[in-house]
């Protein structure tokens, strides 16, 4: 298989490239940071720049059997517009721009996050972002909706989940599958950014309950599986990689503790 991977230089993206190469795939990497590790060719691109996305896609030759959208930026004070630009707007533009080069029966995997799981509660704002006019800047959008860097990260991942789900039926004629992967806290170099944004005590408490953080290769393995023929009839799902955190929290909310058994 010939597979495009964004965010190929670090973290989950780098692990996905390693796994794909071990499997014998041809890997074409895309990232703002350059790398030659576990890629057959590499294209530098800034996903916050629509012109850069269009230019790099125009320069890429050949066809693809899968696309793994793993590139993303963490929440940092003052970077709310950048977070939305890269994590959702850029992801969407890259995906749509590569569509004509994706083979029929190919797979698209978008990296979301457990931070996006409240999309149902925020659907109006998610729709507003998805339908944002090009004439309105992301800075203006954030000001209007009073969005800070933390909310921007959550919103970007909510939008990835909802937009990906919304494409499912339209891709049926070409049998292209589109799924999302939503890890909880991942042990990467940007973990401190998430601790600062969401609160160190909260992150550490959640981590303690499930036992540990997500390893980058665990999230990458999920993405690689969804890109593979082994997942051929899985379409439109959001696959959680969280050590059972959502199940535990849902059980708490539903008062299911009395039904817990010691196995």
Residue the block writes with tokens 């895309």: 30
Sequence-ordered alpha helix ranges (H) in 85-229 = 91-98, 123-130, 138-145, 149-166, 191-198, 200-210, 216-227
What are the residue ranges spanned by the domains of the chain?
Answer: 2-259
d(CA 76, CA 213): 20
Q: Which region, left, alpha or beta, applies to residue 38 given φ > 0 means left and ψ of -120 to 50 means alpha?
A: left
- Residue 195: which residues within 8 A CB-CB, separation 6 or more? 203, 204
Q: What pLDDT was estimated at residue 261?
A: 79
In 3D, which of 217, 225, 219, 226 has the Cα closest to residue 242? 219
C-alpha count within 13 angstroms, C-beta hemisphere, residue 126? 21
3-state helix, strand, coil in the chain (%, to 5): 50, 15, 35
Strands of the chain (E only): list them.
2-6, 26-31, 41-44, 64-69, 102-111, 177-183, 238-241
What SS3 class is residue 87?
helix
Question: Quick one: DSSP state of residue 86?
Answer: I
Averages of pLDDT over each 10 residues, the chain, 263 residues: 98 98 98 96 98 97 98 97 98 98 98 96 98 95 98 98 98 98 92 92 92 95 98 98 94 92 71
What is 2-259's CATH topology? Answer: Rossmann fold (3.40.50)
**Contact between 141 and 84 (Cβ < 8 Å):** yes
Q: Three-class SS of residue 28?
A: strand
Distance of CA 253 to the CA centre of its chain: 27
Q: Which of 106, 17, 21 is nearest to 66 (CA)?
A: 106
Evaluate if pTM is beyond 0.85: yes
Residue 11 has a pLDDT of 96
- What is the residue whose two structure tokens read 């517009």? 81
The pLDDT score that the predictor gives to residue 263 is 65
Asked if residues 126 and 88 have their Cβ atoms less than 8 Å apart, the reply is: no
């Amino acid at each position: 298989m010939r597979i495009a991977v964004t965010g190929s230089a670090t973290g989950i993206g780098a692990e996905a490239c390693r796994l794909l190469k071990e499997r014998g795939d041809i890997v074409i990497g895309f990232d703002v940071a350059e790398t030659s590790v576990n890629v057959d060719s590499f294209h530098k691109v800034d996903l916050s720049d629509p012109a850069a996305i269009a230019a790099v896609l125009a320069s890429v030759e050949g066809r693809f059997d899968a696309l793994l959208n793993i590139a993303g930026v963490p929440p940092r004070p003052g970077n709310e517009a950048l977070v939305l630009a890269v994590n959702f707007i850029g992801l969407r533009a890259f995906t749509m721009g590569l569509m004509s080069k994706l083979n029929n029966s190919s797979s698209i995997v978008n990296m979301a996050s457990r931070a996006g799981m409240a999309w149902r509660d925020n659907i109006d704002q998610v729709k507003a972002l998805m339908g944002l006019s090009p004439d309105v800047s992301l800075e203006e959008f954030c000001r209007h909706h009073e969005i800070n860097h933390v909310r921007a990260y959550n919103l970007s991942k909510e939008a990835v989940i909802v937009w990906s789900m919304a494409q499912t039926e339209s891709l049926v004629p070409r049998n292209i599958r589109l799924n999302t992967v939503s890890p909880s806290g991942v042990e990467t170099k940007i973990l401190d950014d998430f601790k600062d944004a969401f609160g160190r005590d909260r992150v550490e408490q959640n981590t303690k309950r499930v036992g540990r953080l997500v390893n980058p290769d665990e999230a990458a393995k999920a993405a690689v599986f969804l890109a593979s023929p082994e997942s051929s009839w899985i379409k439109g799902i959001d696959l959680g990689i969280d050590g059972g955190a959502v199940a535990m929290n849902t059980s708490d909310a539903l008062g299911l503790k009395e039904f817990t058994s010691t196995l």
